[in-house]
């Protein structure tokens, strides 16, 4: 979960954009999203750790690698099951 401080623009407080939710006076990226360039991107991809646009993975947890926007086994590995 990524957080960002709420800015005070005169009498109103706001987050950088509508992709955030507000919790305990902080802007938070909702579950299944990742923060990139001050925006929360939808990232419901198995083994994905970072999305730079909605639904397109840009980084995966090891040993998985990004292949066509999803996380896949490296060429020297064989995936069994999910």
The tally of domains found in the chain comes to 2
| 72 burial type by CB count under 10 A (0-12 exposed, 13-18 middle, 19+ buried) | middle
Taking only the tens place, the pLDDT of each residue in 15-60 is 889 999 988 888 899 999 999 999 999 999 999 999 999 999 999 9
Are residues 3 and 36 part of one domain?
yes
Whether residue 38 is found in the same domain as residue 55: no
Print the domain residue range for 69.
Answer: 47-82
Question: In this structure, are 36 and 66 located in the same domain?
Answer: no
Q: Are residues 60 and 80 in the same domain?
A: yes
> So what's the pLDDT on residue 29?
92
CA-CA distance, 20 to 17, in Å (whole number)?
A: 6
pLDDT in tens, 2-27: 555 556 655 567 888 999 998 888 88
Based on the domain organization, do 28 and 52 belong to the same domain? Answer: no
The answer on 38 and 12 residing in a single domain is yes
């Amino acid at each position: 979960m990524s957080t960002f401080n709420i800015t005070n623009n005169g009498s109103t407080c706001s987050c950088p954009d509508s992709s955030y939710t507000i919790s305990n006076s902080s802007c938070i990226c909702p579950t299944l999203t990742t923060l990139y360039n001050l925006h929360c991107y939808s990232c419901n991809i198995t083994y994905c750790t970072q999305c730079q646009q909605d639904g397109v993975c840009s980084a995966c947890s090891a040993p998985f690698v990004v292949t066509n926007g999803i996380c896949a086994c490296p060429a020297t590995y064989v995936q069994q099951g999910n």
